Amino acid sequence: MTKDRWLSDLHWRRPSQQTRSERTQTALMDAAEALIVEKGPDATSIADIAQRAQCSVGTVYHHFKDKKALYYALFHRMTQEYADFTRRASDPALWEGATVLELLRGYVEIMLSVKVQAGNAKAAVTAVIADQPDLRAHVAELQADGRRALRDRILTRRDDIGHPEPEQAVGFFIDQLGAMLFARSDASQRVASIARLDDAAFMEEVLTLARRYLRLKPEA
């Protein structure tokens, strides 16, 4: 099966049909995202955002009460997009007939794609919510939803898993996969050997680990 099967309908899109006001809000949030990544949330000012978006400071305040409100809007935009993406990626019809290894390959391809397509948004929101545990918990729950969906799909093929405790083994493996994906996406983890692998080599290592740890049957 090819990569296109898993990704063709799962692009990280933003609406193309927007009103003038919505386009302005999008431009302001895009500018804020880029500046937060470059300078950090505290060092980014309303004036910086206005200049980057090529509008006036008054325009920023017309759309957002203050910088905090703009940052909450960034958080809401990213989490809504992520939740929608996860919902579409979890559609059973997308994975009909997939083996365990194909499910894992598709999941990793999707997560690597999200890293590329939503990298700025994720980095900016991560910086914004660094000291806000409630918002961090919400993001963690969204990520957990995706992992649970993957676990449930894999367990529909439990007969292909030779591990004596398939539910425990699948859960453990998916948790470890999440940690490996984090090591590839977090700049502070770039010293890890796993972070230095290119995507193709990383994929093969993941599938090799799955095959051996889950004790998959050859056809799985």
Residue 192 located in a structural domain: yes
Same domain, 125 and 185: yes
Same domain, 135 and 84: yes
Domain count of the fold of the chain: 2
Contacts of 119 (CB under 8 A, 6+ apart): none
Same domain, 158 and 213: yes
Residue 111 located in a structural domain: yes
Same domain, 46 and 114: no
Same domain, 92 and 158: yes
Residue 153 located in a structural domain: yes
Which residues in the chain land under pLDDT 50?
A: 1-13
Residue 11 located in a structural domain: no
Same domain, 117 and 220: yes
Amino acid at site 139: V
Residue 186 located in a structural domain: yes
C-alpha distances out from residue 220 to 52, 101, 150, 157, Å:
51, 6, 15, 8
pLDDT value of residue 133: 87
pLDDT value of residue 189: 52
pLDDT value of residue 3: 44
Identify the CATH number of the domain in which residue 40 sits: 1.10.10.60
Domain assignment of residue 34, given as a range: 19-64
Same domain, 156 and 183: yes
pLDDT value of residue 91: 82
Question: Using an 8 Å Cβ cutoff, are 171 and 151 in contact?
Answer: yes
